[in-house]
Structure 1
Amino acid sequence: MTVVTSDLIRQFDVSGPRYTSYPTADRFVEAFGPDDYILALQQRRIGSNAKALPLSLYVHVPFCESLCYYCACNKIITKHPERAEAYLRYLSREIDLHTEHCGVNQHVSQLHIGGGTPTFLSNEGLDDLMSMIRRSFNLVPDGEYSIEVDPRTVNNDRLMFLRQLGFNRLSFGVQDFDPEVQKAVHRVQPAEQVFKLVNEARSIGFDSVNVDLIYGLPRQTPESFERTLSQVCELRPDRIALYAYAHLPERFKPQRRIFADELPLPASKVAMLARSLAVFQEAGYVYVGMDHFALPEDSLAIAKRQGRLHRNFQGYSTQPDCDLIGLGVSSIGKVGATYSQNAKTLDDYYDAINRGQLPIARGLALTRDDLLRRSVIMAVMCQGKILYESVEQAWLIDFNSYFAAEIEQLRAMQDQGLVELHDDGIEVTAMGWYFVRGVAMVFDRYLQGSRTRERFSRII
C-alpha cells in the first residue's frame, strides 16, 4: 500500500487544471466561431474512412428541481417540465445542424448524458432524446452509454427504463451520507435509498455503477466522513469519484448560501483526503488517477493495467482518443485539432439555433506546440510515463532540448519520490500518481506564462 504523507498533501494543496483537455477551457476565445467549427466537421467528414473513426457524444441537460448549494455546474432550477420539452426540440434541431456537416450514421462508441439533472426529464423525454440520437448516429453494440442520476429522481421502474433505452452505466451523485451535511448543502437523500437503487441497478444488469463523493463540505468532520467512507465501501460501487469542494461564492451564486464558518479547516480536509486514500486501498480499489478509484475487475482499472487509459472532457475513459461532439447549452466538444463550446445561457443557445446557426460561442484552434504538449500531458495523466523516442518520432523534436526547462523542474519531484527520470523517458511513481496533476502542470506552457491558478480546482 502506498502511504501518502500529510506533508506532501499540504505541499500540493494548490489550484491546477484537471486536464480533461489541453489547452484548458479557460484558453478558449470568442474569435473561434461557428464557421471554424463547421470547417472542422467537414474536414472530419472528408477524411479517410471517416465514418469508422470513433466518435463520442456529450449531451447537457441543465435542469434541476432543487438547488444544491455546493454546485458549480451550468444548471437551471425549475419545477416546470414544459421547459425541458422545449429544450428537447432545440436539441433535435442542433443535432440536425451537425449532421448537415458531418453526415448521418457516424459510429458512436461513447455517450454521456450530464447536467444539471438528466433524470429531470420524464420517461417520454428520455425516450425522445435517445430516439433523436439514434436517428442521426449509430450507437455501436459494445459502446459505453452513461447517464448521471440524482437518486431522488428515480425508482426501480425508472432504472429499468434507463436500461431498456440502452444505458449500461450509471453515475449516482451521493456527495456525503451524513444527514447534517446533506441539510447544510440542501441535498437530503437517505443512505438506504441509495443502497436500494445501486442494488437494483446491479440486478437489472448495468455494467458499471459510479458514486460521486465530495470532501470539504460544510459540517463535515474527519469522523463524520469516516462513517461515509465506511458506508461507501459497504455499498461497493464499481467506481468512485472523490472531489474536493472549492468554496468560491464570488463566482458561484448558490455557494453564498453556505456558511463559511461551517466549512472544515484545511487540516481537517487533509485528514479526510488522506483517510479516503487509505480506506479505498484497504477495500481493494485500484487508484486510477487523480480522484478516481475502481474495483480491479472494472474496465477502467483493467484499462489502466493494460496501458489503454484515455482522458476526455468526461474524465478517464476506456474508449480510444476520439472526436467529441457536445450537444446542448454550454457543452464542450473536440473535433480534429479544435475545441469548441456552446453558448452558456439558454437564451443565447436558442437564439443561435433559431437563426439556423450552430450555437458555438467560443473555442480554439490548436497550434503544433499545443498538440505536442497535449500528447505529453495525456501520456502523464493516462499512462504515467513518457517515452522520449515515441514523442521524438511523432513530432520530429529532440525531447531533452525542447523540454529542457521542464525536465529541470521534474528533478525536484524526483527527489521527493514522485517521478523517476531515465535516459529513455520519465515515469510517475506509485506515490506520484496521487499528484499526477502536479506532474502534468510542469508541461503546461500557459501556466508557465501565468501562475494565476485560482480559476482551477485544487489538484488533490
Structure 2
Amino acid sequence: MSLSLASSPLVWDTDLLKRYDLAGPRYTSYPTAPQFKGSLTSDDIKRLLQQSNAAARPLSLYTHIPFCDTLCYYCGCHKTVTRLKSRALPYIQGVIREMEIQSRYIDRSRPVKQLHWGGGTPTYISTEEMTLLMQATRQYFQLLDNDEGEYGIEIHPGQVSASTMQHLRNLGFNRVSMGIQDFDLKVQQAVNRFNSLQDVTRLVADLRRQQFQSIAMDLIYGLPFQNTRSFSETLHRVIELSPDRLSLFNYAHLPDKFKSQRMIRQADLPSSQEKLAIFHRSTELLQEAGYLYLGMDHFAKPGDSLGKALEDRSLQRNFQGYSTHGECDLLAFGVSSISALHDVYFQNTKDLAAYQQHVNEGHLPIEKSCQLTDDDQLRRYVINQIICHGELDFAAIDQRFDINTMLYFTNELFALTPMVDDGLITLSSRGLQVNNSGRLLVRRICMVFDRYLQQPSTEIRYSKII
C-alpha cells in the first residue's frame, strides 16, 4: 500500500460493510493463539534459540507486567488487580530469573532494536523496581544506548506522574502508549476508567518536554453511553493533543469470556448502527487531521516510524498490533507473554503462581507452543502482506516459497470472487490488490487464506471486524 492510498479518504459503503462485517481474528499472529497447543522441552528451547543465533536476527524484547490498581470493566487483557504493591517485587525478581535462564542460550552481541513493557499497568511497579528490571535487561541483553532503539511502555495517563515518566526516560524509554478510551465522564464511570482531559494534556506536555520520541494514544468505540457526537468531542480533543500514533479499537462485548465485562450492561451499549457511525465519523476526522490509515484500527502521522515502515515495506503485525522491524526475533518474559522466533511461537503460563514456581525452580514457564509448518509460514506471509501492504505479488511468492501461487491457492482465489465483484479487491494473474473500498475489510480478506477457519470450532469466539 502506497502512502498516497494510506492518506486517501476511505470509501464508506454501509451496506457493503454490514454484509462483510463478520467475526474473525485480528491476525496479530498466524496461526492465531487458539492454535497454540504444542509443548516444548528445555532442549527444544535451547535448540530453537541456537538456530535463532545462527540466523543473527536482531531482537525485540517484551515484558508483561500484569498488575493494575483498579479494574477497567471493558478489559480483556491478562491482568491481576490488586493494591498490594508488595506483590510486585517477587514477580519482577521472577522475570529477571526468566531472563537469566533464557539468556544462557542467546548470543549477547545481538542488538535489541525494540523493547516494550506491557500489561496490566507497567507503571504499577515502583521506580526502584523499574530500575532493577531495566538494569537486569541490560545485563542479559545488548540494549542500544544511542536512543535509536524503539523502547516503549504502556501507561495509564490518570495514574502516572511526570517524575515517573522522567525516570523511565532516564532508563532508556523513548516511546509511550497511553489508553485514553474516552474523555466523556459518563462513559468513564460506566467502565471504571478515569483520566481527565486535564490529566492527559498535562502529561503530554511533560512527555514532550522530556523528549519522548513518540506518543501513541488508544481509544475504544462501542463502550456504554457512547454516541457519534460525544465520541467526536473526545476525538477532537485527542487530535488537538497531536499524538504520533492513534489506535481506534472496537469494543467486543464478551461477558461469558471476560468476567469484568459483566459489570457493563448490554442495554447501555450503542446500537450496531450507532457504533458504525462512530467509527465512520472517527476515520473522517483523523484523515482530515492528516493521519494515515494504516489498516484495521491503526493511524499514524506520515513522519512517524509506522508511516516510514509502510513506505519502505517493513511494516508488520505482531502481538502489539502494527509495528516496525519485522526482521526481529521476539523474546517475551512474564506471565502469559508470547515469544516468536522464525518458525515457532511459545507462550508462558497464564497462572501467576505457576509462573513464579517455574522460574523459582530454574525452569522456563512455557505452557504451550505452535511449531509452524511450511504451509503456516506461507499463509503467514500472505496474510501479513495483505494486512500490512494491501497487496500480493504472486511472482515474489512463487520465488520465495518455490510454489505456483495460483495453483496452491486455487480454492482461496475462487472464494475471493464475490469480493472482486463487489470491488473490494482486484485480482489478476500477477497478484492481488486491495482497493480503497476494501481497506476497512482487510481482516475479512485475510480470513479467506486462514486454513484453520476452514475447521471451525464452537469454542473459539472472535470480535466483529468493525
Q: With the length of structure 1 as denominator, give the TM-score of the two structures.
A: 0.96
- The match for 1:257 is 263
Alignment pair present for 1:422 and 2:422: no
1:311–1:321 Cα contact (<8 Å) kept: no
Q: Which amino acid aligns with 1:17?
A: P
Distance in 1 between the 2:106 and 2:141 partners? 11
Deviation at 1:34, TM superposition (A): 4.3
Q: Residues 31 and 380 of structure 2 are in contact (CA less than 8 Å); yes or no, is this contact kept in structure 1?
A: yes
Give the letter for the 1:416 counterpart: D
Does residue 243 of structure 2 align to residue 237 of structure 1? yes
Deviations 1:318-375 (A, max 9, x none): 2133211110000001123110000101111011112211000000111111111111
Instruction: Look up the match of 1:112.
Output: 116
Gap change, CA 1:174 and 1:361, over 3 Å in 2: same
Structure 2 counterpart of 1:66, from 70, 79, 83: 70
Name the amino acid aligned to 2:417.
Answer: R
1:329 maps to a residue whose letter is V
Match of 2:142 among 127, 138, 145: 138
Candidates 321, 333, 337, aligned match of 1:315: 321
How many equivalent pairs are there?
Answer: 456
2:11, 2:436 within 8 Å by CA — same for their partners in 1? no
The residue that corresponds to 2:5 in the other structure is: none
Other-structure match for 1:193: 199
Structure 2 residue 454 is the aligned partner of structure 1 residue 448 = yes
For the pair 1:151 / 2:160, whether they are aligned, the reply is no
TM-fit CA distance, 1:39:
2.3
> Match for 1:330 among 336, 355, 360?
336
Q: Which residue of structure 1 aligns with residue 11 of structure 2? A: 3
With over 3 angstroms needed to count, the CA separation of the structure-2 counterparts of 1:33 and 1:231, relative to structure 1, is: farther
**TM-superposed deviation, 1:453:** 8.6
> Which amino acid letter does the alignment assign opposite residue 380 of structure 1?
I
Amino acid at match of 2:66: P
Decide which of 305, 308, 326 is 1:299's aligned counterpart: 305
1:343 to 340, 349, 359: 349
Distance 1:71 1:458 in 2: 16
How far the C-alpha of 1:451 sits from its partner, in A, is: 6.7
Query: Contact 2:10–2:439 (CA<8 Å) still a contact in 1?
Result: no
- Work out whether residues 40 and 336 of structure 1, in 8 Å CA contact, stay in contact via their aligned partners in 2: no
Pairing 1:80–2:84 present = yes
After superposition, give the CA deviation of every residue in 1:210-237 in whole Å (9 maximum; x if it has no partner).
0000001111122211211211121221
Whether the 8 Å contact between 2:113 and 2:143 is mirrored in structure 1 is yes
Matched, 1:42 2:50: yes
Deviates more, 1:296-305 or 1:383-392: 296-305
Tell me how far apart the structure 2 counterparts of residues 11 and 451 of structure 1 sit (CA, whole Å).
Answer: 22
1:290 aligns with 2:296: yes
**Deviation of 1:12 (Å):** 2.9
Matches within 5 A, 1:153-168: 153-168=159-174
Structure 1 stretches lacking a partner, 5+ long: none
Contact 1:249 1:256 in 2 (8 A): yes
Deviation at 1:8, TM superposition (A): 2.5
Is 1:227 the equivalent of 2:237? no
Tell me by how many angstroms 1:307 deviates: 2.2
- Which of 394, 399, 413 is the equivalent residue of 2:400? 394
CA distance in 2, matches of 1:115, 1:196: 23
**Superposition pairs for residues 85-96 of structure 1, below 5 Å?**
85-96=89-100
Work out whether residues 40 and 369 of structure 2, in 8 Å CA contact, stay in contact via their aligned partners in 1: yes
Pick which of 415-424 and 272-281 moved more: 415-424
2:283 alignment counterpart: 277
**Alpha-carbon spacing, 1:176–1:34, altered in 2? closer, same or farther (3 Å):** farther
In the other structure, the counterpart of 1:458 is 464
Q: RMSD of the alignment, in Å? A: 1.5
Q: Give matches, 1:165-176, under 5 Å.
A: 165-176=171-182
- Alignment partners' CA distance in 1, 2:17 and 2:280: 8
CA-to-partner distance for each residue in 1:286-319, whole Å, 9 max, x for gaps?
Answer: 0011100011111111221332212221111121
Cα pair 2:73 2:191 within 8 Å, conserved? yes
Q: What amino acid maps onto 2:74 in structure 1?
A: Y
Q: Is the 8 A contact 1:6 1:271 kept in 2?
A: no
Tell me which of 364, 369, 386 is aligned to 1:358: 364
Q: How far did 1:113 drift?
A: 0.4
> Shift of the alpha carbon at 1:106?
3.0
Contact 1:16 1:453 in 2 (8 A): no
Residues 1:126 and 2:130 aligned together: yes
Checking the alignment, whether the CA contact within 8 Å between 1:15 and 1:453 is kept in structure 2 is: no
**Does the Cα contact within 8 Å between 1:33 and 1:361 map onto a contact in 2?**
no
Contact 1:33/1:363 (<8 A) preserved: no
* Structure 1: distance between partners of 2:221 and 2:42: 39
1:34–1:360 contact (8 Å) kept in structure 2: no
Counterpart contact for 1:22–1:374, Cα < 8 Å: yes
2:104 is paired with a residue whose SS is helix
3-state SS in 2 of match to 1:151: coil
Name the % identity. Answer: 46
Give the corresponding residue for 1:207: 213
Task: Please report how far the alpha carbon of residue 281 of structure 1 lies from its aligned counterpart in structure 2 after TM superposition.
Answer: 0.9
